[in-house]
């Protein structure tokens, strides 16, 4: 096996390199305002993007390997480091897989608490994503500050429920760590009213604004068949007209008992992906209201039996960025033998790489196109 | 089509002896095929609507002296997941790529190549994805193999005793 294959670039960190035939390679990241903790190598032919290569792995921590040395409760902590914005949704996939292995069904009240925390996290993750999306499209920088400020009441709620703003470590296999504190329901409902008012402001200022639409419509169109073939995940998949949402297709927690719709769009462009995220936040607000109304009483956790009843499990869950799935193989000990995590961003980065091959993308359209996918390098790197 | 019906079709087409360790669950079908049959089965799955790869990887079994490769494919038509698995030898770990059948497995196969040390024949871009650029397979090995020892890596600020 040739191990020198990775030495593909003579000078990988030069900012602009001439490749000949009028092609230039532009190095975006890892120290660049739009890149995140990774790097995009954009090969341009004049103003047109010829090819994009995504270089991930700058924050690879080997979480899959670490999990082989942790038991199922200890595993919660390293796992949350995948996406700090969206910890509970990431954890949901793992917790589902372990509960499947042990044949445990969490108590009904725990399911409702999980649903509320998942949806709060989803709104906070989508707000952050939409702020970055607006910023990358060159929209008024105030939008990112608005969305960041509107995440605060949600983080406050999460702090009241779980004790931490981001890495809650609140879900454990078999339930949740604690019951809801007193008086939290009114507070959640008040926050939901506040968010709905803010969504109206967003619509006027930005989402349905003609200039913003001109900037992002028709940029980076992902057709339905290609979205499926390349394995796009989450809002990117739904914006291309595929009605897949793990909360609906493979319902978990309290989702089967609640009434909500899958948000889809048929255009498949950057605007559609942003729009799907925005509409999903409204759906999440609705889900939280229903969950609070129908919340049953009872215990919030169960203990796991000493031995798993199955050898392997594949569980899926819907995170803010799309579906995450966990394949766990165990030999019956308290630690997993192998955990395979396939996160949404890992799949979406591949889609970003392929897009310039099927259409003409201008260099100036690259940042909004990338951020419409809401990629998260730490998610993809594990 | 539900998982049980697909399992029956697979057994009918490829023979009872080639579809091993089959297990049907809610929206899941797990099964194992001999490596020689894997590409045929994959094509059959693709033709029957299993079009979207959602996971792919491998598990190292030093005791059995095999590496088990698995492909998880969701169907946008039938809405369930098939996990197709096959064993390859641990001494000479290699298999032919599935990119022609499912283009979305591109990066998953790259990752399996570097983390498990499996040669993916016919893959157009086998270069490091997650590991650092100066990683040496000869000295440090493949991280997801069971004989890889992570304790040789110390924390930069020193380990607590």
Q: What is chain A's pLDDT, residue by residue, as a tens digit (382 residues)?
A: 333 333 344 455 666 777 767 777 888 877 777 777 888 888 888 888 888 888 888 888 889 988 988 888 888 888 988 888 888 999 999 999 999 999 899 999 999 999 999 999 999 999 998 888 888 887 777 888 888 999 999 999 999 999 888 888 888 888 898 888 888 989 999 999 999 999 998 888 888 888 888 888 888 899 998 899 898 988 989 999 888 999 988 888 889 988 888 999 988 899 999 999 999 999 999 999 999 999 898 898 888 888 888 889 999 999 988 899 999 999 888 889 999 999 999 999 999 988 888 888 888 888 888 888 888 888 888 8
The string of pLDDT tens digits covering residues B67-119 is 999 999 999 888 899 999 999 998 889 899 999 999 989 999 999 999 998 99
Q: How far is B133 from chain A (nearest CA, A)?
A: 7
Q: Say whether the ipTM exceeds 0.85.
A: yes
Q: Which of A143, A333, A336, A346 is nearest to A234 (CA)?
A: A346
- Note the pLDDT of residue A6: 35
Q: Which of A130, A114, A112 is nearest to A235 (CA)?
A: A130
User: Residue ranges per domain, chain A?
Assistant: 63-344
Q: Which residues of B touch A (CB under 8 A)?
A: 27-28, 30, 51-57, 59-60, 70, 72, 76, 79, 81, 83, 102-108, 115, 117, 119, 126-133, 136-138, 143-144, 148, 150
Let me know: does A97 contact A314? Beta carbons within 8 Å. Answer: yes
Q: Is B103 in contact with A230 (Cβ distance < 8 A)?
A: yes
In B, minimum Cα distance to A8 occurs at B127
End-to-end CA distance of chain B: 57
Q: Is A6 in contact with B133 (Cβ distance < 8 A)?
A: yes
- What span, in angstroms and rounded, lies between the C-alpha atoms of A317 and A91? 9
Q: Is B148 in contact with A62 (Cβ distance < 8 A)?
A: no
- Note the pLDDT of residue A279: 92
What pTM does this model have? Answer: 0.88
Q: Is A325 in contact with B59 (Cβ distance < 8 A)?
A: no
In B, minimum Cα distance to A346 occurs at B107
What is chain B's mean pLDDT, rounded?
88
- What span, in angstroms and rounded, lies between the C-alpha atoms of B154 and A68? 18
- What span, in angstroms and rounded, lies between the C-alpha atoms of A239 and A129? 15
DSSP strand E in chain B: where?
20-25, 28-32, 52-61, 66-74, 81-89, 94-96, 119-121
Strand partners, A286: none
Strand partners, B73: B53, B82
In A, minimum Cα distance to B101 occurs at A229
Q: Is the pLDDT of residue B126 over 70?
A: yes
Most B CBs within 10 Å, among A78, A316, A340, A353, to test the B interface? A340
DSSP secondary structure letters along A3-68: S-TT---SSTT-SEEEEETTEEEEEE-SSSTTT-SSEEEEEEETTEEEEEEEE--TT---HHHHHT
Q: How far is A8 from chain B (nearest CA, A)?
A: 8
- What span, in angstroms and rounded, lies between the C-alpha atoms of A40 and A371? 12
Kindly report the backbone phi and psi dihedral angles of residue A170, in degrees, each rounded to the nearest multiple of 5, phi listed first. Answer: -100, -30
Strand partners, B86: B69
- Note the pLDDT of residue A17: 72
Q: Is A350 in contact with B104 (Cβ distance < 8 A)?
A: yes
SS3 A291: helix
Cα A135 to the chain's mean position, in Å?
19
Q: Is A57 in contact with B132 (Cβ distance < 8 A)?
A: yes
Q: Which residues of B touch A69 (CB under 8 A)?
A: 150
Strand partners, B24: B29
Q: Is A65 in contact with B106 (Cβ distance < 8 A)?
A: no
**Nearby residues of A129 by Cβ (< 8 Å), 6 or more positions away:** A277, A320, A321, A371, A374
In B, minimum Cα distance to A6 occurs at B127
Cβ–Cβ pairs < 8 A, chains A and B: 100
Q: Is A231 in contact with B30 (Cβ distance < 8 A)?
A: no
Q: Is the pLDDT of residue B151 over 80?
A: no
**Nearby residues of B135 by Cβ (< 8 Å), 6 or more positions away:** B114, B128
Rg of the Cα trace of chain A?
21
- What span, in angstroms and rounded, lies between the C-alpha atoms of A379 and A368? 19
- Note the pLDDT of residue A1: 32
Strand partners, B58: B69
| A3, A229, A312 ranked by CB distance to B104: nearest | A229
- What span, in angstroms and rounded, lies between the C-alpha atoms of A273 and A131? 13
SS3 A362: strand
CATH topology of domain A63-344: Cytochrome-c3 Hydrogenase; chain B (1.10.645)
Let me know: does A260 contact A280? Beta carbons within 8 Å. Answer: no
Most B CBs within 10 Å, among A101, A342, A348, A358, to test the B interface? A342
Task: Return the percentage of chain B with pLDDT > 70, whole number.
Answer: 97
- Note the pLDDT of residue A10: 47
Most confident of A187-201, B3-17, B128-142: A187-201
CATH superfamily of B3-151: NADH:ubiquinone oxidoreductase Nqo5 subunit (3.30.460.80)
If phi > 0 it is left, if psi is from -120 to 50 it is alpha, else beta; for residue A220 that is left
Q: Is A3 in contact with B106 (Cβ distance < 8 A)?
A: no
Note if the bond before A30 is cis, omega within 30 degrees: yes
Q: Is A3 in contact with B104 (Cβ distance < 8 A)?
A: no
In A, minimum Cα distance to B69 occurs at A340
């Amino acid at each position: 096996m040739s191990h020198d294959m990775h030495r593909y670039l003579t000078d990988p960190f030069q900012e602009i390199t001439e490749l000949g035939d009028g092609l230039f390679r532009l190095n975006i990241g890892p120290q660049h305002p739009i890149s995140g903790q990774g790097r995009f190598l954009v090969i341009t032919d004049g103003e047109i993007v010829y090819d994009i290569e995504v270089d991930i792995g700058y924050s690879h921590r080997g979480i899959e390997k670490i999990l082989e040395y942790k038991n199922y409760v200890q595993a919660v902590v390293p796992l949350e480091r995948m996406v700090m914005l969206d910890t509970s949704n990431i954890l949901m996939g793992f917790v589902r897989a372990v509960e499947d292995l042990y044949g445990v069904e969490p108590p009904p009240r725990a399911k409702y608490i999980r649903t509320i925390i998942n949806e709060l996290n989803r709104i906070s993750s989508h707000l952050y994503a939409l702020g970055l999306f607006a910023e990358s499209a060159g929209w008024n920088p105030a939008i990112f500050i608005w969305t960041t400020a509107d995440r605060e009441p949600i983080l406050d709620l999460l702090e009241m429920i779980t004790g931490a703003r981001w890495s809650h470590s609140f879900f454990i296999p078999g339930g949740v760590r604690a019951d809801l504190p007193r008086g939290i329901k009114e507070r959640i409902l008040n926050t939901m009213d506040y968010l709905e008012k803010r969504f109206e402001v967003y619509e006027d200022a930005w989402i349905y604004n003609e200039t913003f639409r001109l900037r992002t419509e028709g940029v980076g169109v992902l057709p339905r068949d290609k979205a499926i073939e390349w394995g796009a995940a989450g809002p990117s998949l739904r914006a291309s007209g595929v009605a897949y949402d793990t909360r609906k297709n493979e319902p978990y927690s309290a989702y089967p008992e609640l009434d909500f719709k899958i948000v889809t769009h048929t255009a498949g462009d950057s605007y559609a992906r942003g729009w799907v995220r925005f509409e999903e936040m409204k759906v999440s607000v609705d889900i939280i209201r229903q969950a609070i109304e129908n919340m049953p009483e009872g215990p919030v956790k169960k203990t796991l039996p000493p031995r798993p009843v199955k050898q392997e499990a594949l569980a899926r869950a819907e995170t803010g960025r799309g579906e995450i799935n966990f394949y766990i193989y165990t030999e019956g000990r308290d630690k997993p033998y192998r955990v395979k995590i396939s996160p949404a961003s890992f799949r979406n980065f591949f889609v970003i790489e392929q897009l310039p091959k099927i259409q003409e993308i201008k260099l100036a359209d690259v940042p909004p196109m990338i951020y419409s996918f809401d990629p998260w390098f730490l998610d993809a790197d594990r | 089509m539900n998982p049980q019906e697909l399992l029956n079709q697979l057994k009918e087409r490829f023979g009872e002896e080639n579809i091993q360790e089959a297990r049907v669950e809610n929206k899941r079908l797990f099964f194992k095929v001999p490596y020689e049959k894997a590409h045929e089965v994959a094509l059959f799955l693709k033709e029957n609507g299993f079009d979207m790869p959602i996971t792919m990887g491998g598990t190292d079994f030093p005791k059995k002296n095999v590496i088990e490769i698995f492909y998880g494919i969701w169907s946008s038509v039938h809405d369930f997941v098939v996990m197709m698995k096959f064993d390859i030898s641990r001494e000479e770990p290699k298999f032919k790529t599935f990119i022609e059948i499912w283009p979305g497995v591109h990066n998953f196969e790259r990752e399996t190549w570097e983390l498990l040390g499996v040669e993916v024949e016919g893959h157009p871009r086998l270069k490091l994805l997650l590991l650092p650029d100066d990683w040496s397979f000869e000295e440090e090995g493949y991280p997801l193999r069971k004989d890889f020892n992570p304790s040789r890596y110390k924390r930069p600020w020193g380990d607590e005793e």
